[in-house]
Structure 1
Amino acid sequence: MKFAVVLLAVVLLAGCAADPPAAAPPPADTHGDFVLPADAYAFTLPETGRIDLARELLAGKCMRRLGYAFDPDQARQQIAAGNAHTVTDLGWYGNKRRYGVTDPAIAARYGYHLVNRNLGGTSPAPGFGALTPAMRTALTGTCTREAVTALSPDGVVGEADVVAALGSGSFRDALHDPAVTAAFARWSACMLESGHHYASPAVAGTDFDIDSPHITPAETAAASADVVCKQRTHVLDVWHGFEATDQNGQIARHRTAFAAARSGHDVEMRRVDAVLAAEL
């Protein structure tokens, strides 16, 4: 789960430019995440946390100028804690639950629930206490706009549309690929052996309330069987393999668009780093 962005219809720009700039290699510990080609052009969840912090610090400075109290240290602590929880649950790139539950230990203990059920774990406005109506208006209007503009002059912060479309498109297309659907059928037959009726792993666990604080034995049993069947049928190799191949093909066909996305990512992160260095 990367930035919550509105996925607009994207016209991919074909081109024959040089290869897009190389991204930093994945860290040694990706927190059990799956890595896809799109991730080289996207924001990692730790980067998203830094963007959130920079935006909050800039907005907080604006709020102070308007006469409202803001605690930057509290904002740092809240955002850091929330981001740590998010990375634990969703991985370095946000793909850890892309294919459902895959870790047998997590399935046995938490079922289909996230480990950190209150994902993010921060208040809606880190660094502030309770917001009065006037404070909320100033924060969500004037000060947030000012912060976003400082980070991105065009007023758009986060993942490029072409990158978001790549990730959502390959996932959607995988659900209709014959090799993937055949793997789903094998997984479904495996699940049926233990009494669980799911057409595919994409819908596994949807009959449980993962927002409830209670995790039932039925849920952990289903999730554990889900993981076992994924391993037995190699469905993850097929599913992830399709997406990786599909994304690589799209990137190769639209090099100019992805080079621009990577460049935009790097420019935005330099602005974020400058804000954080100035506000420390």
Structure 2
Amino acid sequence: MGILLMVIRGVLMASERGRAFIVSLAACFSLISLSGCSFGEAEGEEAGRGTGVDAIDDVDGTEGSGLPLDSYFASPAQAQMLDRAQDVLKKQCMERYGFSYTPPPLPEVVPVKGVGNRYGIADPADAANFGYGGPDMATQADDPPLGEDEAAVFNGPEELDPDSLPNSQEEVDDLPASTSNANLVNGLVVPPGGCIRESFLKLYAPRAGAVDILFTQDLERESFARSRADSRVKDAASAWSACMGRSGYEVSDPMNPGRELNLAEDLSGEKATAIAVQDVECKKRANLIKIWFAVESSYQHEVIKREADTLKRAKAEHHERIRFAESLVK
């Protein structure tokens, strides 16, 4: 989920809706989270059958390709470049106020095969090597410590109402040059939301009316919720559960069996590894990953058709953003 890392770092000052979505997405899709979304909780969606998934046995994009909406997201390499570009913008912003800023190193990009662990652990080698713990994941380093004035410029005012912030850099540029209650540092007005917000707006919302960077993630979240409630996915999940039961593991949630089996204390131990190996084998026997991928692909094709105009704009803005980022990190 390279895009998730990019959004989390970029939307530090985003709306409450955006922050809530990020938390929800992380909880649902993280392999190492054993207390996330349980199977069947589908945001109010009732179980049903989507359109266009009649020959799911002929659909197999889980290994070499991704889901239809993936083409509207930054690739892992692009996401890291966008992170680097945002760091450059932070540095430029801080320098305007006379401060030197050295961004922390970015974590290494970890490539994901196909849909990765979107539908629960799926790779036999990962299961055998790491159980439900997964390989050690690199974490984003903290920003360097800042002095009082530096922090004011970098973060903006401590008491900040996110809903009062401009939604684009164009709106910021149109603000009056000075106000009576402006926050001044070294004689200059601090940008609304500080350099963090400025770097985000310049990269993701340079103009008023830009497509919300979370728009495509919202569509992906919708397709996942609808597929999880689909009767074909539920039937495959039941077959997986029965397979696990025959091995002595009473579980119902292919996304989160570790929670039901109380494995949180030892995700990569001998017991967890044995269960994870059986988990992957049962998913294969139930054809769960292939079916779920096919069903969600169908739902994504539906939302792509429904939101074609906005997605076309989003893709054009993404290409423009990548070109801008390339100019910053060269």
TM above 0.5: yes
TM-score, normalization: structure 2? 0.64
CA distance in structure 2 between the aligned counterparts of 1:257 and 1:157, rounded to whole angstroms: 10
Larger radius of gyration: 2
Distance 1:57 1:213, change over 3 A: farther
Q: Which runs of 5+ in 2 are unaligned?
A: 12-17, 23-60, 157-193
SS in 1 for 2:78: helix
Q: After the TM superposition, which residues 106-145 of structure 1 pair with which residues of structure 2 at under 5 Å, given as runs?
A: 106-117=126-137, 120-125=138-143, 129-141=144-156, 142-145=194-197
Change (3 A) 1:147 1:33: farther
CA distance in 1, matches of 2:218, 2:127: 30
> In the alignment, is residue 53 of structure 1 matched against residue 90 of structure 2?
no
1:253 Cα deviation (Å)?
3.0
What is the deviation of 1:159?
A: 6.7
User: What's the offset of the Cα at 1:51?
Assistant: 1.0
Q: 1:43 to 1:149 in 2, by over 3 A?
A: same
In structure 2, how many angstroms separate the alpha carbons of the residues matched to 1:38 and 1:138? 37
Report the CA distance between 1:186 and its aligned residue.
Answer: 0.3
Q: Which residue of 1 aligns with 2:201?
A: 149
**1:96 is aligned to 2:116:** yes
Question: How does 1:4-23 map onto structure 2 within 5 Å?
Answer: 4=8, 6=18, 7=21
Q: Percent identity?
A: 26
Counterparts of 2:302 and 2:322 in 1: how far apart (Å)?
27
CA deviation map 1:161-182 (0-9, x unaligned): 4311221011101121111100
Q: Which amino acid aligns with 2:263?
A: F
Letter in 2 for 1:100: G
Residue 160 (structure 1) shift = 3.6
Q: Which of the numbers 223, 241, 247 marks the counterpart of 1:194?
A: 247
Larger fraction in helix: 1
2:255 aligned counterpart, secondary structure: helix
Range moving further from structure 2, 44-53 or 58-67? 58-67
The amino acid that maps onto 2:97 is L
Kept in 1, the 8 Å contact 2:64–2:113? The answer is yes
Please list the CA deviations of residues 62-91 of structure 1 after superposition, one character each: whole Å capped at 9, or x if unmatched.
Answer: 22343433336xx4xx21xx142xx24xx2
One-letter amino acid of the structure 2 residue matched with residue 103 of structure 1: D
Q: Secondary structure at the match of 2:133?
A: coil
| Range that drifts further, 265-274 or 231-240 | 265-274
Q: In the TM superposition, what whole-angstrom CA distance separates every residue of 1:75-117 from its partner, at most 9, and x where no partner exists? A: 4xx21xx142xx24xx278x41211111111111211123124
1:41 matches 2:72: yes
Checking the alignment, whether the CA contact within 8 Å between 1:187 and 1:200 is kept in structure 2 is: no
- Quick one: distance in 1 between partners of 2:117 and 2:307? 28
Residue 326 (structure 2) pairs with residue 273 (structure 1): yes
Match of 2:29 in 1: none
Distance 1:248 1:31, change over 3 A: closer
The Cα RMSD (Å) is: 2.9
Pair 1:186–1:97, CA change in 2 (3 A): same
| 2:316 alignment counterpart | 263
Contact 1:34/1:96 (CA < 8 Å) preserved in 2? no
Structure 1 residue 156, shift from structure 2 partner? 9.8
Shift, 1:52, TM fit: 0.9
The separation in 1 between residues aligned to 2:294 and 2:62, in whole angstroms, is 20
Contact residue 62 and residue 290 of structure 2 kept, 8 A: no
Do the aligned residues in 2 keep the contact of 1:37 with 1:247 (CA within 8 Å)? yes
> Does 195-204 or 175-184 show the bigger shift?
195-204
Partner of 1:183, secondary structure, is: helix
Q: Decide whether aligned partners of structure 1 residues 34 and 136 sit closer, same or farther in structure 2, where only a CA change above 3 A counts.
A: farther
Aligned residues: 238
- The alpha-carbon deviation at position 133 of structure 1 amounts to 4.8
SS of 1:63 mapped into structure 2: helix
Give the letter aligned to residue 123 of structure 1: A
Match of 1:215, SS state, is coil
Distance 1:110 1:31, change over 3 A: farther
- 2:150 is aligned with what amino acid? M
